[in-house]
Structure formats: structure tokens, C-alpha cells
Structure 1
Amino acid sequence: MKHAILFTFDLMTASAALALAFWVRTDTLGPNVDTGQAGLFSGAYLVFAAISILGFRLHRIKASEFHSKLLMHILPTTVALALAAGFASFLTQTPVPRSVPLGTGVFFFGLATTYRFLLANLIDLKLRYGVRASRAIIYGAGRAGMQLAHGLKRSSEMLPVMFVDDDPHVQHTYVSGMMVREPERLADLVQRYRIDRVLIAMPSASPERLKAIVANLSSLDAEIQVMPSFVDLILQGRKKDISLVPAEQLLGRSQVDLEHPHITKTYAGRSVMVTGAGGSIGSELCRQILKCAPDRLVMFDQSEFALYTLEMELAQLAKDANIDLIARLGSVTDPRRVRSIIGETCPDVILHAAAYKHVPIVEDNEVEGAFTNVLGTRNVALAAIEAGIERFVLVSTDKAVRPTNIMGATKRMAEMVLQDLATRSTRTKLSMVRFGNVLGSSGSVVPLFRRQIQSGGPVTVTHPEVTRYFMTVPEASRLVLLAGAYSAGGDVFVLDMGKPKRIFDIARRMIEMSGQTVRDPDTGKGDIEIQIVGLRPGEKLYEELLIGADNLLKTPHPLILRAEETFLSQIETASLVRELSAMLEGQDKYGIRDLVTRFVDGYKAPVREAVPAS
């Protein structure tokens, strides 16, 4: 039907072109002959015109398309119609001025081009404004950006508004019908034009370059999406690499600026030791410390592979900065090894990040979890006090506040042991940092969701209303460094991270950032399913950062708070350590849970399953 309508329009245009050619030349709309002769001429012309239109397939070009290929179909049809007018005159012996066939071609080209242009734009307006389309700016006015713009112009879901590009040679020019603006004006442009998304179309740029661009755009009030090229999509089936999107885009907030002169002053020219250096937080701590120009960095971890990988990454940086980089294997549960390394490397500051932190794993391995998280922390802290080290900082977690799982409970017990030691330490300042989930760390939902999205789903969420406090790896690491700088002894530092985020919302956001859609459970439409799997053993719907909010003190940084919390007496702490040591010696996992129930507020041991009689 559409082809028939377009064919009719084109044939009417051919007739109008012939009439205009006669009118310009003779002030009449046809040849100056009798009606029968004129009809014969017009009939012959229309037959040849129809054959020309069908032959050059002009009617099969979509009405919504207007580009150079359309002109390449109109142009030969124009020539054919000029010849058709002359041939019809010859065939019917109708006198026609020689300029009329030429004029017919010229008028047909103008009329056909004009009406096709108007028709395409009318359809385009309907597609764009028939529904509320998402408004987008395309970052990159190169070939990939132009391809993306062309594709989006045919879409009713997204409206490309303009380009931005770093190249000053293309700025303030029009590409694919849209103005190219400067990236420096993006914040103003997003607000002025109500932009919903910024699409980065620079597939040939290096990952470092893309990450730098995304980092600069992270404060915009708009979604940031990194788009692969159309060739990559076709040849490799690539989805958008959401690993290039910074974590703060998942949080929906800007990254907290934790830069402070206290950090460099505390660590510059000093010897710093990081336990658990091969982990997500530990490795980032090492990277941040190197920027503070310490005299020595000691990396301590029980994983040979993690330690090797980190040393290979940092060796050249340390060498260039003339920093002594030392990698030492060992476990914090071995007090002799800990004392030996401290005595050998003489650290001024110890940042204790070594711990077992995966809730389901520790829930089923209570003995090792308590051994590492509690006694391991005590071993390192005692060694630090014995050596007269200046500062010791424990990396803790929000799961330590009224915990419902063994991981959180053992971290709370580690805090209590440290708080007790801080009351008797005259030289070493012992403190702890308590923060929420760290996006991008090995235990966070982000790597899990990324793998699930890349494999086509489903994305698993434990409960639709489960919430967590989130921060980025750099935020967590800088907070630990600042805590070391602010420590007065026995402090609990927390970061004001705003409101907790729903895990379900982060899952949805990651799916949408991957260029896909969430599957509707009712209609089945969409790409990736979000599957609710139920809370795991010991998991809470929400986490807390403070046991009590009554004793909060300010620090030099407005978003970092110092909490003064109650803790066990020296006698109670000694009893806790003594009983725990005995239970670890006897591998008594039930005894450990009972001990935790007695000493840790909020924890309740699960009901033991009855052992069937033999």
C-alpha cells in the first residue's frame, strides 16, 4: 500500500512537472493542439513516466528517508522523464517546444526532492514528538557519532539534540544536521536542553581516554553511556562495556572529595605497612599511599598471586619515586611472622585491611572467620603496640553494627578488642574505619551483576527492598588514610554517604547502562530478568553505620564523623579472647556462635538442627 501511494505521488509530480514546463514556456498547461491530440500526448508521457519511476524504483525508497541515495534515484528518473516528454512528442506527432522536455526534468527534480524532504521531516516530527523521547547529547562527532545520530533519528525512544567534541576544528559546525558544541559547556547544555543521556561515541579511543572522559562527566545530572561502534556490534556482538562507567554513576551521586593536606603530611617520608595488601581495599590503599611519597611501603598478604600481581603493578612507580617497595607473604593469624615483619621493616603506620569479608563464606566457616578477623587483628595490634608504632588503623564494616551474621559479628569483636587495647596504649594510636559496601570490590554486587549481565542474566537480587550504604574504592581508601591522620586513639570513623541505595535499583541501573532493558515479569518483554532469590543466612534488609548516634564528633573534614561508642572492660575483653581462643583450638563452631551471642549486641545464634539418634 505504501509503495502504491508513493508511486501515485511520484506520477502526480511527473504530471505537475510537465504542466509547469509548458506554463513557463507557452503560458498554457499543455500542448497547443486539439483535445484528442493533447490527451494522446499526455497518455504516452504518463506511460513512459510510470515505466521510468518503476524502472528506477523511486517508489520503493522509504518516505521517512532523505539522503544522498534518494537523490541518486531521483536524478536518473529526472533524465528519463525529460526523454519521455520528447519521445511522447515524437511518437504522437505533437508539436512541443524543445525547452519543455528539459523543463520537465528540472521541475520534476525540484518537486520530487521538495515533497520527499517535507514528507521525511513530517514523519520524523511524529516519531520524535509523538511520545516523550529521551533527549541525548552525542559525545564525539566522528564517524561513530554520525552513525549513532542517524540511527537515533529513526527512533521514537531517543532524540539526539547535538554533538560535543574536543576537536576545535569541528566545534560550531553542523554534522548530520546538528550543532557541535564544546565539552566545557556540557553542564549548561544538559540543564538548558533537558538532556537525559550523554552517549560517548568514540570506540577508537583508548580505555584510559574513555575513563578520563567519563570521570569528567560524572557530576552531570544525566546518564552516561559508552557506546561501541556499529561495526563492533555487528562483528563481535559486543554489549556496552559497563566497566568503563564509574561507580558514582551507579550511586547517582558525585564522588565525595576526600583530598586533604593531612593525608600527605601523615604519610610523606614515612614507612607504611598494609595488611591484606592484595585485596580490593588493600591494593587501592597501596596505590594511594605511593602518591603520598612515603619512604617505604610494606605489602603484607597471604595470597602469593595477589601479592605478585600488585608488586608487578607498583614496582616501576615505586622505583621512579625512589620508594622502597617490600612484599612479604604471611598470615595475620601467625603472631611470630607478624612480629618478624614489623621488626624487619619498622613501619610508622599500619593499615590493617586483612580480613575474611564474604558473608555467605564466613557464615559457613565460623572458625576461620573468627580466627582471622578477631585474633588476627589482635595479633597485628599487639605487635604494633610492642614495637611502639605511631598509628594503627583497622578497616571495619557497617555489618559490625548489630550484626546478624558471623562476618559482621567477628568484625565487631575485632573493634571491641581494638577499643580495649586503645585504652592502655600510651604511644600507638589505634583507631578503626567503618564504611558500607565498596562498589567494585571483590565482594560487592557490581562484579557479580556485571558477570550476570554479560552472560545474558538473570541478575539475582536477594530482596526487592534490601538497601546498603555504598561508596567507591577510592572513597574507602582515602577515608582509611584520613582516619590515620585524624586518629586520637580508640576512634570509630564513619563517612556520611547520604541515603542507602536499593540493590534492586543498582541492578536495574547496570542493566540499562549496558544498553539493555529489564524484562517485565508480566509481559515477558525486555532483555535481562531481575530474579529475587531471597535473603541469605545472616543477611539483613538494611545496614547501619552507628551503634548509637548520640556521641558524634566532627573532624576537619565535614563528611567524616568520629563516633565515641561504649565497649567492653579490660576484664570482659580478656574473657572474650580467652574463651574464643579455646573454642578455636577445639574447632567449636557452635561455641563460637554462643560466645558471639553473649558479647555482640544484636546477634542471635541460629537454632541448631537436631542430630538424629543413631
Structure 2
Amino acid sequence: MLKFTKNSALRTVKKTIFISADAATIYASLLAALILRFEGIPASIIYNYYIASNLLGIIASLAIYIALYHWFHLYKRAWGLVGLDAARCIIYANTLGLIALLSIQQFTSKTMLPRSVIIIFWIFSIISTSGLRIALRIYITTKRRISAQLAGTMKRVIVIGSEKTTAPVIRMMREQHEPLYEIVGILDDDPERTGMIVGGAKILGRIDILGKFIAESSIDEVIVALPHGCGKTVFKHIRECRHRKIPVRVVPGLADLHSSPYGTNIPEIPIDYFLKRPVLRHNKQATAEYTTGKKVLVTGAGGSIGSELCRQIIASEPGALILLGHGENSIHQVWQTLTSEFPNKRNVLECVICSVADRERINSVIEKHRPDIVFHAAAHKHVPLMESNESEAVRNNVIGTTYLADACGRFGVERFVLISTDKAADPCSIMGTTKWLCEEIIQGMSDIWQNTKYIAVRFGNVLGSRGSVLKIFQDQIKRGGPVTVTHPEMTRYFMTIPEAVHLVIQVGKMGESKGLYLLDMGRPIKLIDLAEDLIRMHGLEPWVDIDIEFCGIRPGERLHEKLVSEHESIRTSTVDSILVVDRPHYFDTSEIMDIVRHLETLSSNTDGDKIRDYLYRLIERRNERHPVAANKAAILLHEAA
């Protein structure tokens, strides 16, 4: 309590000094304007004629000035960080104060200030009150820097990036209290900008001279301020710094911070640097228009994709957001995260613990909540694991999707969006085959329930999701290796969770019923390249510091994933990065419903061999009707057994 009282008293004293200084500065500005205008006339005459005769009006005007400074919060600012916003407020306050002074003079004084004096006074008052604060900032900053230099805590840094990306980073570094930075310079790959000054720091040259400056200039830290997706540009420089034991910080672009999963905390190595392509930008307005005011249900809401779906949807002001999942812990964790990040949206969230493979429960949930839009992200996705758990893969993926899609049509859901996978194209695994059947099921449901739009969207692997290869590699590196890669030539398509989810939401808006859509993921990435890059990013050398072992292709996996089968073709859509997949209808509606009923029986008996044989025969039937693939998928599935 005593400490609180002392702090309050100290703040009051500081504020009183500031108010007194402002009043004296404004008064002095008026005197200076009069003396400058009437140069050669004795100051006593000017004072008596313009000041003394209007003293009460001037005192009232000073009170209004101080009140305006209060109104613009000029006494609540941290003046060690004063910037353009404060300058703008000072101009507004002084302009309104001058208007008040002239208004008071109009009613209380016979002697009006000349127009030239008014203009000079307005300029002097702005310069003097701003100068007072700038001088205070210079004093605070200088004192802090001298203290840091004497204590040896000042960090010498080099910033890597373009003029556009380094300017906000330098401003942020100069304004923060701890640690204090001495910016040695900027390195930019554009030779035309060498010698330019950005935020008080000089562009020294191209990034290639980084090693020279680290060796010659006692650099304590390197800040990388390059746009996400510039992985190829930044990798070698980060590796060099790590080898020299120089800490590196990779700063996300300011345009990414609002929607970034990292928030405002700067990660050491953002996941999307490993994409080696530009990150797909979000059109937040399109999402907002689509889901605002709607009841949205997300299945698998506790998973990586489902939770990010919830995070992006809740930001667009839905009427209700229902989190449906089988695991109570994961659903509760997502609920806690969302209520913490969006505390004012707590009332729109509802949690439902339910398995999509429980028909009665799913029907009751959809009937009760009557969602407008359903995103179906619940699925078993682990390829090798599903090879030995065939009945669970069928029960959860195929039967669960059928029950949910049927309930959505029955109770008037507007849109149903199935999250599929690139492994559904010419499937060679149990998981891939079940997801291909899910695509077939929603085509059939489109014929049964024509008032509901049934849409499917495919994409590949997601960086940073639970169990993703990136996290596995990171854990193996932390343990000292070895890093295990299945095959030296294996490739995969990758996206980040936020960009994949945003495009899924976009598909839900623009998709047509029975439509199958594909997210443009760029070029496939070799897993061996990903492993080597990650090892080097930790300042280690692959095959020397950390070994890499090839463990062989696992059951159900293929060397190179496909995005479409030989039966399918792709074309562009009206939305960037979203492709339309044109495909045949492999089974009519009655056939697909018969298939589902037979799989219900097989999965209830938990006979994995019978399920695998039946799925194999379905692939054969598909290829007999559309023989382009020459039974390749069926052969692969059979070999996986």
C-alpha cells in the first residue's frame, strides 16, 4: 500500500511538472509571436497592450489548452516512445486551443491579435510543445543507452532484409527497453540500395558480405527480416551464423502478424520458411462475408485442421460455432484457447463430445443445433497405422462420413464440406481408399438431399500438425539423431495449417454441389531435403553432426503422392490457388449406399482381411469401368497387404 501511494504521488508530481511546463511554453510562444511581429517596439508596450489587457482571457485559454492536452491523452503517453501519433495529437490540441483563444478574445477583449501573430503563435506553440517532448525522449533514450554501454548489455546487430521489411523492425528495436540494440547496418540483396539510410541505419551492401561483418565487427546477433517463403534465400545465412555461434532471429513480416499462428511472439524459425515458396495470402473479407451470422459446426475440432478452422471461423463473427469431437481433452483445450483469444465470443461456442460413427447421436446433434455449414475434418489420417486397423478406418472415415452427410441433408444444412486428402487419388492404402469412398459418398448424398451442397476439398501434408514429419525430425535432432527418412527420393506436397484451412473455408463459399476441389500446394518437397535443411538450421551438419537413416517405405505409403488420378483432370477456378477436379462418377447412388451397408457389416465384425479384400475389389470395379489406370491402384493396395 505504501509503495502504491508513493508511485501515485510520483506520477502526480510528474504530471504537475508537465502541465506547468506546457502552460509556460504556450504563454512563452504567444509572447515570442508578438515580439517577432512587432520587432523594434519595446516589450513592455506589447505586453501592456496585448497581454495585460486580456490576462483573464489568456489564463482561461491556457486552461482550455491543458484540458485539450488531457483530452488527447498527452499526459498519459510514454514519452520515451513518442512518435507521429503524438505529434498529430499535439497539432490537433494546439489548433483547437487557438480557436478557443480567439473565441474568448471575441467576447472579452477589445484588442484582437493580428492575423500574422495568430499564425506565428500557432506554429511556435506546436514546435515548442512538440520539442519539449522530443527533448524528453532524447534524454530518456540517451540515458538508457549510456547505462547499457557502461553495463556492457548493448547488443550489436546486423539486420538482413529489404527497405520495406527492415524499416518496421528497426523502429521496433529502437523503441524497446530491453535489450538495447546498436544497429551496425542493413544487408540487402538489391545493389541499387547500398548506401541508403533506413530508420537511421545504413544499408552496407549485399547479404553475401555477412560473414565478413560477423568476423570484423563483433556482431552479437543477426535479425532476418525477409518475407515468409524466402527459405532458399535465408537458409545459408542462418546456417553460417549458427556455425559461428551467432544468435539469429527470424522476424515475420508485419502483414503476417495479425493472422499468424505465432501471434506477436517472434519464433526462431517460422514453419513456413520450409515451404520454399511464397505463403498464400488470406482474403479475410471473403471468409467474413461467408460465415458471419451463420451456425457453423466443425467435426474433428480438437485436431490440427479442425482447431485452426475454429480459430479462423470465430474471428468472422459466426452466429454459433459448434466444436464436435470424440476426445474430451482436445475439445476442452481448443475451447480454452478460443475463449482466451476471443473472450467476447465465449457465448457463441458450444462443445459436443460425439463420435461421427454413432448414428443416433449424430442425428440428435444435427437436429438440435441445426447448423448452416458443416466442415467435416474428423478422420483417421495416419497411413501406416490404418494399415493394421482396417475396421476403425472404415468405421470412422466411411461410415462416420455417411451418417454425418445423411444427417446434414435430413435436417437442412446448407453446405457440407468434406476435408479429403491427396491420398484419395489412385489410393494405395486403407486410409486413402476410405477417403476416396468418402468423396464418392458425398456425390451420392448430393442426389439424395438436393437442398444441401456437398463439397470435397483435397490437399496434401500439413507442416506443423500433430505427428507431422517436421515435428518428428525436430524431436530426433534434439535427441542427437539419427533423423529417419523413409526413402532418399520420397517427396510430399506441403502447406501450412493456416493457409490450408483458409482455402478450405474459401472452397466452402465458392464450391458447387458434387464439386471436388484441390488446393495448389506448389512443387513437392523431398523429405531428405527437408531433413537436411532442418539439421543445418540448428547449426549442425547432416551426415556429420546428425546422421540420417533410411528406414524404408512403410505399409500404405507411396514414393510420390498424386494430386489426381489418371481418371481425373484439373482446371483453374475463380479463386487463386484453388483448382477444380473433374472426375467420373464411379458408382451410382444406390451402389454407393450398398457399399456403405456392406462395409457397416464388415467393420462391425472387425475382420481386417475381409475389409481389405473388399476394398481391393472396389478399386478393381472402379478401374474396370474406367480402365485408364490399368488396375495400378488395385495392385498397389493388394501389395500393401
TM-score tier (shorter)? 0.5 to 0.7
The equivalent residue for 2:634 is 603
CA distance in 2, matches of 1:389, 1:550: 28
How do 1:222-261 residues align onto structure 2 when only pairs under 5 Å count? Answer: 222-223=234-235, 225=238, 244-259=268-283, 261=285
Change (3 A) 1:475 1:168: closer
Q: Answer whether contact 2:391 2:611 (CA < 8 A) is retained.
A: yes
Change (3 A) 1:284 1:402: same
Change (3 A) 1:222 1:192: farther
Residue 181 of structure 1 pairs with residue 186 of structure 2:
yes
CA distance in 2, matches of 1:347, 1:215: 42
Q: 221-230 or 241-250, which moves further after superposition?
A: 221-230
Residue 394 of structure 1 pairs with residue 399 of structure 2:
no
The equivalent residue for 2:580 is 562
The equivalent residue for 1:51 is none
Q: Answer whether contact 1:277 1:307 (CA < 8 A) is retained.
A: yes
How do 1:34-183 residues align onto structure 2 when only pairs under 5 Å count? Answer: 146=156, 165-166=170-171, 179-181=184-186
Q: 2:329 aligns with which of 305, 320, 326?
A: 305
CA distance in 2, matches of 1:327, 1:185: 52
Q: Answer whether contact 1:165 1:181 (CA < 8 A) is retained.
A: no
The equivalent residue for 1:66 is none
The TM-score normalised by the length of structure 1 is 0.63
Cα distance, 1:564 vs structure 2: 2.1
CA distance in 1, matches of 2:408, 2:209: 52
Residue 275 of structure 1 pairs with residue 299 of structure 2:
yes
> What are the superposed Cα offsets for residues 335-369 of structure 1, whole Å, 9 maximum, x if unpaired?
11111222222211000000000111111101001
CA distance in 1, matches of 2:618, 2:335: 40
Change (3 A) 1:549 1:249: farther
Change (3 A) 1:422 1:528: same
Q: Answer whether contact 2:228 2:272 (CA < 8 A) is retained.
A: no
Matched AA of 1:222: V
The equivalent residue for 1:477 is 501
Residue 288 of structure 1 pairs with residue 312 of structure 2:
yes
Matched AA of 2:577: L
> What are the superposed Cα offsets for residues 389-437 of structure 1, whole Å, 9 maximum, x if unpaired?
0000011100111111111111111111111112332211001110010
- Partner SS for 1:244: coil
The equivalent residue for 2:602 is 583
CA distance in 1, matches of 2:156, 2:610: 67
How do 1:322-471 residues align onto structure 2 when only pairs under 5 Å count? Answer: 324-471=348-495
CA distance in 2, matches of 1:250, 1:573: 40
The equivalent residue for 2:570 is 552
CA distance in 2, matches of 1:187, 1:277: 50
| Gap regions ≥5 residues in structure 1 | 1-140, 150-163, 234-240, 520-525, 610-614
> What are the superposed Cα offsets for residues 476-505 of structure 1, whole Å, 9 maximum, x if unpaired?
111210111012101111112221110100
The equivalent residue for 2:286 is 262
The equivalent residue for 2:206 is 193
CA distance in 2, matches of 1:187, 1:406: 56
Q: 2:510 aligns with which of 486, 496, 500?
A: 486
> What are the superposed Cα offsets for residues 492-533 of structure 1, whole Å, 9 maximum, x if unpaired?
1111222111010001111111111102xxxxxx21111111
Change (3 A) 1:188 1:363: farther
> What are the superposed Cα offsets for residues 93-127 of structure 1, whole Å, 9 maximum, x if unpaired?
xxxxxxxxxxxxxxxxxxxxxxxxxxxxxxxxxxx
> What are the superposed Cα offsets for residues 268-321 of structure 1, whole Å, 9 maximum, x if unpaired?
111110000000100111111111111111000111110111111111444424
Q: Answer whether contact 1:144 1:203 (CA < 8 A) is retained.
A: no
> What are the superposed Cα offsets for residues 11-43 of structure 1, whole Å, 9 maximum, x if unpaired?
xxxxxxxxxxxxxxxxxxxxxxxxxxxxxxxxx
CA distance in 1, matches of 2:435, 2:582: 17
Matched AA of 1:598: R
> What are the superposed Cα offsets for residues 195-220 of structure 1, whole Å, 9 maximum, x if unpaired?
49899999999xxxx9xx76855547
Q: Answer whether contact 2:555 2:640 (CA < 8 A) is retained.
A: no
CA distance in 1, matches of 2:542, 2:503: 35
CA distance in 1, matches of 2:192, 2:353: 48
CA RMSD of aligned residues (A): 4.0
CA distance in 1, matches of 2:191, 2:383: 42
Number of residue equivalences: 433
Change (3 A) 1:182 1:296: farther
- Partner SS for 2:185: strand
Q: Answer whether contact 1:335 1:379 (CA < 8 A) is retained.
A: yes
Change (3 A) 1:467 1:146: same
Cα distance, 1:222 vs structure 2: 2.3
- Partner SS for 2:579: strand
CA distance in 1, matches of 2:170, 2:521: 34
Matched AA of 2:186: R
CA distance in 1, matches of 2:367, 2:429: 36
Change (3 A) 1:192 1:378: farther
State the identity as a percent. Answer: 34
Q: Answer whether contact 1:398 1:434 (CA < 8 A) is retained.
A: yes
Change (3 A) 1:168 1:570: closer
- Partner SS for 1:222: helix
Q: Answer whether contact 2:387 2:555 (CA < 8 A) is retained.
A: yes
CA distance in 1, matches of 2:284, 2:459: 19
The TM-score normalised by the length of structure 2 is 0.61
The equivalent residue for 1:543 is 561
Q: 2:593 aligns with which of 543, 560, 574?
A: 574
Q: Answer whether contact 1:318 1:325 (CA < 8 A) is retained.
A: no
Cα distance, 1:182 vs structure 2: 9.1
Structure (1 or 2) with the larger CA radius of gyration: 1
Change (3 A) 1:169 1:309: closer
CA distance in 2, matches of 1:180, 1:325: 49
CA distance in 2, matches of 1:469, 1:375: 28
